Amino acid sequence: MPALESRPALVARSPVRPSDPELFLQLGPEGTPLWTQDPAIATRFGSMREAAREAFRLPAAVRAFGVPLVLH
């Protein structure tokens, strides 16, 4: 298994309420952040480092973070 930092990853955001679904970042045209419940259509990043970097670029209120992509 490759090291965590070299595995593909997604950016997720924390739910506002416990009943809210987890949302994943999908970069739209011109890099506009959109949020989807479907990780299959979310933007994939080449590594956890890239995903974390993108998460840190978002407003702090979003509370976004990198998540390793699990491929089956």
The per-residue pLDDT for range 19-30, each reduced to its tens digit, is 999 999 999 999
In a domain? residue 46: yes
Burial class (CB in 10 A: 0-12, 13-18, 19+), 64: buried
Kindly tell me if the per-residue pLDDT of 40 is higher than 60. yes
Q: Is 25 helix (H, G, I), strand (E, B) or coil?
A: strand
Number of domains the chain is built from: 1
Kindly give, in sequence order, each residue whose CB lies less than 8 Å from that of residue 50, ignoring residues fewer than 6 positions away.
9
In a domain? residue 31: yes
Residue with tokens 């679904």: 21
Predicted TM-score (pTM) of the model is: 0.85
What is the span of the domain harbouring residue 40?
4-67
Kindly tell me if the per-residue pLDDT of 67 is higher than 80. yes
In a domain? residue 72: no
